[in-house]
Structure 1
């Protein structure tokens, strides 16, 4: 048992499970491990292998049901992991509770089955993951009755589904929405708004509608960073990137209709965009009508709605010009998981430094600009500035002084 205990502690069981459910080479989905696994030690006499921590990163403390699963993510799982293929068109929210060998060598599997069952209040599928040899027939029977999946992990890292769950509907919260958001085309994880002016994204559906080749038109008239413009347009739900083509969304088609109404053709509209190259003037002042359209587009982005509402709340509480750390602290009290996903870089070192094992912020670390996620504090903030929503532009994390970086509404309500 000693060798099994040494190789199949809870962090290792969870790391093997993550590789099985959310493989590194998959290009869909998003998953976080609980912040307790970002600590240096697990068992009294064992540190957590750095390679295991690297596998489990990023970390967040996400409430699902009445507790915090060891692993929570969104992905269309392999067919052999589910009793049914899908529930609607969206990939399922998955919660995992893991258990490994302890110093005493025991594994209380049945108790973890009940913990996993509690997650079905908000998750579409819940699993127990444990060493295969520790899973009893009675635990499997209980899991089957409660619709909890059972994953048996062996010492070589193999993960076999002993029981597979049916997908169920659920109610969502801001906490689980944070993970769904990151797994969507509009999430900021592992991607970014590469450009910091909204005109580059608004121009993409115009170039896509133009009769000439999209990339050539965009590079010649608007911006050479065509890939960045396309990615940002997808984040803002202006286009839908398919393997074989880029399709305009309803919002993207509305941008085209606006251009046709104002200029008669997208070609004429793009000639005006060409005149705006390298302009640093606030877009809503430079081109007020386009600024109003920009405001509509960026407000449809889920993160914008949350930021504007909570900045209004801060204003009402007497913080007319909150700094970045003040904003993050305030948001974290109300929407902890969403705040971490939106503002904090996802790598293991940063989240381990910023979050304690209970997911609480270490306030002093917020003064370091390098802990922040560039797509939010630089590009998204710059777009909100150009849309006339915020008073100040964003800054690259390497040039960011959080204590002087102000996040304030340009037009707060009284």
Structure 2
């Protein structure tokens, strides 16, 4: 296989794979998706690929855009690893790998179009979390959504500055409650409006009230089934194992719950970590299947007596 190229510059396929992997991860979180869509639609990536390195003013002139906004977009892109910044000259550019991902529509690695779908998903998530209200005259920020935006401006000056700070938190083991208490409080206000969060908190309250503290994932799953079985199966069980978990009569086959592979990693790893970061659960999650069944689920503060 001949390595792909952009213009005359050969592409480091290992770096490209790493960048694609990072981008796919961002697609799931809709983290930088809006900025990537802006860059694609306004031709910013194409101009950087064709004429870089460029200063913000030069890129704005080439794309007939406004310099202050372009400067913020560039800073956020550099923080996310999608644009390359030279601190000595103040110029921005794209590596061959970044160009293949974001500027070259003929590249097999081109993903910018996928971020358009991610933004749509991001809007749905914002509606779901109560950050945006869908009204007859269009979508508007709710009071909670406006508070999220105010937080970004108050603490970091710009949305790009907030994104840069958020990116630096990735992989940190320090909970948000210690790292940035104000953000943890705000994130908790958002998360507690999400149905799966309420679902898990209610099930743990019930379990703790019965003296089951800490609980295990099968305890939590069975308790959520008592509240709303279809939603519990949707939240906890992988798509390909639902026929195993459910009997022909639609009951739960409890013998399958001792198999850690029936549970979604998203619930016992990422989501559990998020709930611990914002101070709802005592411990983060695990992505090691051998540890899933022994991993402890416990509320930091329970109202159960």
Shorter-chain TM-score above 0.5: yes
Is 2:226 the partner of 1:330?
Answer: no
What SS does structure 2 have at the residue aligned with 1:394? Answer: coil
Task: Name the CA distance, whole Å, in 2 between partners of 1:229 and 1:281.
Answer: 28
The residue that corresponds to 2:301 in the other structure is: 411
Q: CA deviation at 1:327?
A: 1.0
The residue that corresponds to 1:399 in the other structure is: 289
Task: Name the CA distance, whole Å, in 2 between partners of 1:206 and 1:390.
Answer: 32
Alpha carbons of structure 1 residues 326 and 306: separation in structure 2 relative to 1, 3 Å: same
- The structure with the largest alpha-carbon Rg is 1
- Structure 2 spans left out of the alignment, 5+ residues: 1-23, 39-67, 83-110, 133-138
Match of 1:260 among 153, 163, 170: 153
Task: Name the CA distance, whole Å, in 2 between partners of 1:223 and 1:410.
Answer: 35
2:272, 2:285 within 8 Å by CA — same for their partners in 1? yes
The residue that corresponds to 1:352 in the other structure is: 243
Which structure 2 residues correspond to residues 31-110 of structure 1 after superposition, within 5 A?
Answer: none
Is 2:191 the partner of 1:298?
Answer: yes
2:152, 2:159 within 8 Å by CA — same for their partners in 1? yes
Alpha carbons of structure 1 residues 387 and 222: separation in structure 2 relative to 1, 3 Å: farther
Q: Which deviates more from structure 2 when the two are superposed, residues 325-334 or residues 398-407?
A: 398-407
2:199, 2:224 within 8 Å by CA — same for their partners in 1? no
Q: CA deviation at 1:213?
A: 8.7
1:310, 1:331 within 8 Å by CA — same for their partners in 2? yes
Alpha carbons of structure 1 residues 292 and 365: separation in structure 2 relative to 1, 3 Å: same
TM superposition score normalised by structure 2: 0.57
Task: Name the CA distance, whole Å, in 1 between partners of 2:32 and 2:186.
Answer: 12
Match of 1:281 among 174, 199, 205: 174
Match of 2:256 among 352, 362, 365: 365
Alpha carbons of structure 1 residues 378 and 222: separation in structure 2 relative to 1, 3 Å: same
Note the alpha carbon deviations across 1:341-364, whole angstroms, 9 max, x for none. Answer: 1111122xx112111111211212
Alpha carbons of structure 1 residues 256 and 379: separation in structure 2 relative to 1, 3 Å: same
Task: Name the CA distance, whole Å, in 2 between partners of 1:351 and 1:321.
Answer: 26
The residue that corresponds to 1:211 in the other structure is: 69
Which has more helix, going by share of residues?
2
Q: CA deviation at 1:280?
A: 2.2
The residue that corresponds to 1:308 in the other structure is: 201
Alpha carbons of structure 1 residues 386 and 208: separation in structure 2 relative to 1, 3 Å: farther
Match of 1:318 among 197, 200, 211: 211
1:194, 1:379 within 8 Å by CA — same for their partners in 2? no
Q: Which deviates more from structure 2 when the two are superposed, residues 226-235 or residues 371-380?
A: 226-235
Give the RMSD, CA atoms, in angstroms: 3.9
1:194, 1:229 within 8 Å by CA — same for their partners in 2? no
Which structure has more RCO (C-alpha within 8 Å, separation ≥ 6)? Answer: 1
Q: CA deviation at 1:223?
A: 6.8
1:284, 1:292 within 8 Å by CA — same for their partners in 2? yes
Is 2:280 the partner of 1:389?
Answer: yes
Note the alpha carbon deviations across 1:375-404, whole angstroms, 9 max, x for none. Answer: 2222221211111111122233x6353320
Q: CA deviation at 1:408?
A: 0.9
Q: CA deviation at 1:317?
A: 1.0
1:259, 1:266 within 8 Å by CA — same for their partners in 2? yes
What SS does structure 1 have at the residue aligned with 2:250? Answer: coil
1:205, 1:252 within 8 Å by CA — same for their partners in 2? no
TM superposition score normalised by structure 1: 0.43
The residue that corresponds to 1:126 in the other structure is: none
Task: Name the CA distance, whole Å, in 2 between partners of 1:204 and 1:300.
Answer: 23
